[in-house]
Chain A
Amino acid sequence: MREFRYERPSTVAEAISAVAGDPDADFLAGGTTEVDLMKDGVFHPDLLVDITRLPLRGVRKNGTMLQVGALTTMEELAADRTLIERAPFVREALLLGASTQLRNMATIGGNLLQRTRCRYFRDPAVPACNKREPGSGCEAVASVARMHAILGASRDCIALHASDLAVALVALDAVVHLQSEDGERTVPLTQFYLMPGDTPNRENVLRHGELITAIDLPLPPEGIRSTYLKVRDRASYEFALTSAAVALTMDGSVITEARIAMGGVGTIPWRGFEAEEVLRNAPATPDAFRSAAEGMIHDPYVVPGTAFKVELAKRTLVRALTEVTS
């Protein structure tokens, strides 16, 4: 048997020190990423610290902020009344992900930390994967890559960050609360993920033994128009080929404020600051939408299998904008 130890501490401090004290320890939340990758032989933790009993579960409204405990499940967050009223696109992003069974297990913290679906990363029999074995090369670049990224990618790694939720949350300027033995800190989600560069093994700013305790969702103004549009090969239970999270504030037919992010395209959840800039104070017209899409998708890095995503992503964004404004 592949042996590992299992602990289930009851306080946050104990959980953190258990992981911090062992370089080969991992937190275990819903396990839908962690256990999967252990079974595939990609992860070999010698200690799993089960955090599911820690008091970090639940959603609370605090002024204009929705505070989400890291151990809240995807289904629980999707059912939250305030979220449904004020940020329905986040709910859509949640419910278009995975399956009901998985969403009942999967936590919000774990979702943000899910690992790429790259087939070459997930099979240790493949020797070349910079994310798994730094410096070993990238098998995906030369292979049949359909589910891979076109933004932030390079020949060192084209792995996609596949979370739908994270796309909606970067659009919302969510803030992640972290706690470690050194204390607590907060990081805006837009600065949480790291571009792969030549170290695709480093995916985010989290340090070993640092725990996500909560995520703050700043509630958008009432009356926003929003959507999460997910385009994929089959109609459900699949990751996105492209997706767009869009939240607009309108004054008549003029867009006064825009929040845009895209999934299925980036090595990290891709916030569209340029596209937002194009749309701010612009009339809601097809031309404006197309310029926003051009601003969103530029300098793509494509391989034969992903080339179609450049145009598909632009059209996805245009469609999402058209839908929310019509």
Chain B
Amino acid sequence: MTTIQQPRILGPGVNRVDGPLKVTGQARYPNDFSLPGMAFAAVVRSTIPSGRITRLDTTAAGKSAGVLEVITHENADHLDEAPATFIKNPQAPLQNDVIRYYGQYIAVVVADTQQNATAAADLIEVEYERREALLDPHDPRAERIKDPWGEDTAWGDVRTALKRAPVMIDQTYTTSDNTNNPLGLFTTLAAWDGDTLTLHDSNQWPNMVQLVVSSMFGVPKDAVRVLTPFVGGGFGAGLRCWSHIPLAVMAARHVGRPVKLELTRPEMFTGLGHRTSSVNWLKLGATRDGRLTAIEHESLTTLPMDGDEYEPCSSVSTWSYASPNVTTRDQQVRLNIPWTNFMRAPGDSQGNFALESAIDELAWEVGLDPLEIRLLNYAEVDPKTGRPWSSNALRQCLEVGARRFGWSQRNPEIGSMRDGHELIGYGVAGVSFFWYQQPCAARVIVRGDGSAYVRSAVTDIGTGTYTIMAQLAAQLLGLDVEQVEMQLGDTEMPAGTAAGGSGLTAALGSAVHDACGRLIQKFVELAKTDPFSPLADVPYEQVEVSEGRLYRRGEPTRGESLARILAVHGLDEMAADGDSTPNSPDELGMTPAGARGARFVEVRIDEDLGRIRLARIVTVNDGGRILNEKLARSQILGGTVGGIGMALFEDTVTDMDTGRIANATFGDYLIPVNADVPDVHIEFVGEPDAFNPIGVKGIGEIGLVGVAPAIANAIFHATGKRIRSLPITLDEVMG
């Protein structure tokens, strides 16, 4: 009764359980909440990248219609330190006059309406003493942090191997700053009641917000309740407790009323972090027949003056392909920029672009088919430790994808395929995604009528957590999905982890699995105390569950329903807590493998105008056991669109003289529109993963990874132009 018996793909077409709530507007997002007596806040941001505030005049703002309070560093509450939660959280805002980046909060205005708050915010006058800002990652004066996470890796002897390699690729690949841009504007509605605080807040990790806010405001953790049952997307933007949250909390304390602070789109560009640009220096050594003998991957990414970030771009080179000699090194450089932060597939998306471009260059260099070279260097075991993988279907991803795509139709000659003015190119990329899991807890409760509900403080950022966890609990308790109610996004529920790192399904799913197992055990034990129960003398190991009934294996009639057991014992409901901690690779003797994937892309390039059109994409992924194929497809499709954005459009531009983000609107920051997204064929391969009891590997991020190099590789095939920096635009491709 402890492992799941269901097939590889569970519930191929189960609809979102929260779908009806969402399409009828009943799902309430943080900005949908209003409270009696609520006031509204508007932030003021700095317009220099570095320096000090010398004068801040709030007189006019203070007198403006409806204004209740103006808070600046001169009258802000002193707040305690913000604890780190895996990574750092921004320290309390408005604690001094120092400016570290353009867009830093320097004041917050609270008024009776949003319009009054916004209008008054414009009346605040600021003077600065400007200091020279560091904005260029290559500025020699900027602080460089080497091996920031102690994850630099080396095995074998790369230097010698490169010297001896008959074939070598030595290139630099760069990616641009990107901004997460979840559609929902991040909002905090803060309400104090004496010393207890309730927050309706947009985030991806309610327990993190609870911990940080309670520490900053010096109240017990339990005095802060964070509610995030729904959030309008995150893409990583909600993984830290950003400064607007304590600002709203502070404002609510100052005015003695609930305060709502909703960021504007431009504020979302500076206030929630962004994906760091990256420089990747890559050297590959290989034999003449294309077998890798050495990989050296170094990366440089950016950091704000007062933050940290985990963005190990070079890591992909330690697990993607078999090579006897590998060195990876990451470096970060501190600049006067808004915070860099996780964005869907941090590190991997940039590093994979570099590695998969370089592998492609190697294929051309040795005259091998780009698909073949990937299969040739497939890592049968973890190349670093020699241990077996918990599962790895990269080979199958490549092979199945090639078949679906019709890769064999490709004429290997550059520029050999065309249709009128358009040059046709085929490109491929492999993806080996990182593995990540954190501890998590859940409670499962069966009610007197035999239905169940599941509770956890984690949130569903739109990926489908509500649905797949309902399916999983239903499967484990032998119920229909409709009989399981999910309750998420409330810190009064069992503590959960982040909806991030593609790790929530494994973490929460394992906790639900654990809770269901314990609950069934409690039922069996309870039944034992009833001499009339058909299960009285059946050992737990022999109990099976289906259709809400426990019965002896092989003897379906010898059993009793969960509802009846509760009734017999006069109980309204019975609950069990479950938790999960990631297994240890050492104990299991295997390396946990994240999801794997392959991308095949056909591009059409206008040979005169350089216009880049995607004709079709095939994306095949190994996510271990797929809990809901419909939702899994949505994740991959959304990821693919994100990948197209990264490849061709997304570029957060910083003005080099002021540090201002120059394109902080949806008019100027381009993301793909429907017309840019071609037909996308999505397929899943692989087997349940051996590393967690439910056999899953997260697939929230992998869809994005590999799209950019597959496009770049296809552009090379079409035009002979090797573009090593993202995004790729038509002026670079024009003949």
Q: Which A positions have Cβ atoms within 8 angstroms of B? A: 1-2, 41, 117, 119-120, 123, 125-126, 139, 142-144, 231, 233-238, 241, 308, 311-312, 315-316, 318-319
A residues near B608, Cβ cutoff 8 Å: 315, 318-319
Contacting residues, chain A, for B668 (C-beta < 8 A): 117, 119
Of B65, B610, B670, which is within 8 A of A234 by CB? B670
Can you sample 13 A-B contacts with CB below 8 Å?
A: A1-B119, A2-B119, A2-B122, A41-B122, A117-B668, A119-B662, A144-B655, A231-B611, A234-B676, A308-B734, A311-B734, A312-B730, A319-B608
**B119 and A233 contacting across the interface, CB-CB below 8 Å:** no
A318: chain B residues at CB < 8 Å are 608
- Nearest CB of chain A from residue B603's CB, rounded to whole Å: 13
Decide if B533 is an interface residue (CB 8 Å cutoff).
no
Q: Which residue of A lies closest to B102 (CB)?
A: A125
Q: Is the CB of A117 within 8 A of B667?
A: yes
Distance in angstroms from A305 CB to nearest chain B CB is 10
List the 6 closest A-B pairs by CB distance, nearest first: A235-B675, A308-B731, A1-B115, A236-B675, A2-B119, A315-B608
In the complex, what's the smallest C-beta–C-beta distance from B268 to chain A, in angstroms? 15
Q: Which residue of B lies closest to A229 (CB)?
A: B609
Which residues of B does A touch, CB under 8 Å?
Answer: 47, 65-66, 113, 115-116, 119, 122, 421, 608-611, 613, 648-649, 653, 655-658, 660, 662-663, 667-668, 670, 672-676, 729-731, 734
Q: A1-B115, A1-B116, A125-B660 are in contact. Are A234 and B731 (CB under 8 A)?
A: no
Q: What's the minimum C-beta distance from B502 to chain A, rounded to whole angstroms?
A: 28
Residues of B within 8 Å of A316, CB to CB, are 609
Residues A143 and B729 in contact, CB atoms below 8 Å apart: no
Q: How far is the CA of A142 from the CA of B658 in the complex (A)?
A: 12
Q: Are A234 and B673 in contact (CB under 8 A)?
A: yes
CB pair A235 B673 closer than 8 Å = yes
Contacts A233-B649, A234-B676, A236-B675: A144 and B730 contacting too (C-beta < 8 A)?
Answer: no
**Do A319 and B609 form a contact, CB below 8 Å, given A2-B119, A125-B47, A144-B662?**
yes
CB pair B609 A231 closer than 8 Å: yes
Closest chain A residue, CB of each to CB of B677: A235
With contact pairs A41-B122, A236-B675, A311-B734 given, residues A143 and B609 touching in the complex (Cβ less than 8 Å):
no
Interface of A (DSSP majority class): loop
How many Å lie between the Cα of A308 and that of B658 in the bound state?
Answer: 25
A233 touches B648 (CB 8 A): yes
Separation of A308 and B662 alpha carbons in the complex (Å): 20
Complex: A41 Cα to B734 Cα, angstroms: 38
Q: How far is the CB of B20 from chain A (nearest CB, A)?
A: 26
Closest CB in chain B relative to A237 CB, distance in Å: 5
A11 to chain B, nearest CB (A): 32
Nearest CB of B to A218, in Å: 30
A318 to B672: give the CA distance in the assembly, Å. 28
- Majority SS of interface residues in chain B? loop
Question: Which chain A residues border B421 with CB–CB below 8 Å?
Answer: 319
Bound Cα distance from A52 to B613, whole angstroms: 39
User: Which residue of B has the minimal Cβ distance to A126?
Assistant: B660
> Assuming A1-B113, A126-B660, A312-B734, is B119 touching A237 (CB within 8 A)?
no
* Alpha-carbon distance A214/B729, docked complex (angstroms): 39
Q: Are B115 and A238 in contact (CB under 8 A)?
A: no
Chain A residues near B609 (CB-CB < 8 A)? 231, 312, 315-316, 319
Q: In the complex, what residue of chain A is closest to B730 when comparing beta carbons?
A: A233
Q: Given B613, B655, B657, which contacts A235 in the complex, CB threshold below 8 Å?
A: B613
The reply to whether B655 and A234 form a contact with Cβ atoms under 8 Å apart is no
Q: Which residues of A contact B116 (CB under 8 A)?
A: 1
A312 touches B610 (CB 8 A): yes
Contacts of B662 in A (CB 8 A): 119-120, 143-144
A123 to B731, CA, bound (A): 27
Task: Kindly report which residue of chain B lies nearest to residue A142, judged by CB atoms.
Answer: B657
Contact among A117, A238, A312, A315 with B670 in the assembled complex (CB-CB below 8 Å): A238
Q: Which residues of A contact B653 (CB under 8 A)?
A: 144
Q: How far is the CA of A103 from the CA of B734 in the complex (A)?
A: 31
Closest A residue by C-beta to B656: A143
Residues of B within 8 A of A126 (CB): 658, 660
Known: A231-B611, A235-B673, A236-B674. 4 other contacts (CB 8 A): A144-B655, A237-B675, A312-B610, A312-B734
* B470 smallest CB distance to A (angstroms): 36
**Do residues A233 and B729 form an inter-chain contact, with CB atoms below 8 A?**
yes
User: Nearest chain-A residue to B264 (Cβ)?
Assistant: A39
Contacts of B676 in A (CB 8 A): 234-236
Chain A residues whose C-beta falls within 8 Å of the C-beta of B657 in the assembled complex: 142-143
**A231→B730 contact, CB < 8 A:** yes
Distance between B350 CB and nearest chain A CB, rounded to angstroms: 21
Contacts of A233 in B (CB 8 A): 648-649, 670, 729-730
What distance in Å separates the Cβ of B325 from its nearest Cβ neighbour in chain A?
40
How far is B672's CA from A142's CA once the two chains are assembled, in angstroms?
28
Measured between beta carbons, the chain A residues less than 8 angstroms from B648 are 233-234
| A312-B731 CB under 8 A given contacts A233-B670, A234-B649, A234-B673 | yes
Q: Quick check: A234 and B675 within 8 Å, CB to CB?
A: yes
Give the residues in chain B near A237, CB-CB below 8 Å. 673, 675
- Measured CB to CB, the closest approach of chain B to A47, in angstroms, equals 17
Q: Determine the chain A residues whose CB is within 8 A of the CB of B734 once the complex forms.
A: 308, 311-312, 315
**Residues of chain A lying within 8 A (CB to CB) of residue B663:** 119
Q: How far is the CA of A120 from the CA of B665 in the complex (A)?
A: 12
Smallest CB separation, B589 vs chain A (Å): 49
- What's the nearest-Cβ distance from chain A to residue B732, in Å? 9
B613 contacts across to A, CB distance below 8 A: 235
CB distance from B647 to the nearest CB of A (A): 12
Which of B66, B613, B675 has most chain A Cβ within 10 Å? B675
| Residues in chain A near residue B731, CB distance under 8 A | 308, 312
Most buried by A among B119, B662, B676, B734: B662
Asked, given contacts A1-B65, A235-B675, whether A241 binds B670 with beta carbons under 8 Å apart, the answer is: no
- The distance in angstroms between the C-alpha atoms of A308 and B731, with both chains bound, is 6
- Could you say which residues of chain A place their CB within 8 Å of the CB of B115? 1-2
Q: Which residue of A lies closest to B421 (CB)?
A: A319
A315 to B663 alpha-carbon distance, docked (Å): 28
- Write the nearest CB–CB distance from A102 to chain B, whole angstroms: 11
Which residues of B are found within 8 Å of A236, using beta-carbon distances?
673-676
- Closest chain B CB from A311 CB (angstroms): 7
Q: What's the Cα separation between A18 and B160 when bound, in Å?
A: 82
Max chain B C-beta neighbours (<10 A), residue from A119, A144, A308, A311: A119
Residues of A close to B119: CB separation below 8 A: 1-2
Shortest CB distance A246–B (Å): 15
Measured in the bound complex, the distance between the Cα atoms of B653 and A126 in whole Å is 15
Which listed residue (A120, A143, A241) contacts B730, Cβ 8 A? A241
Q: In whole Å, how far is A107's beta carbon from the nearest beta carbon of chain B?
A: 20
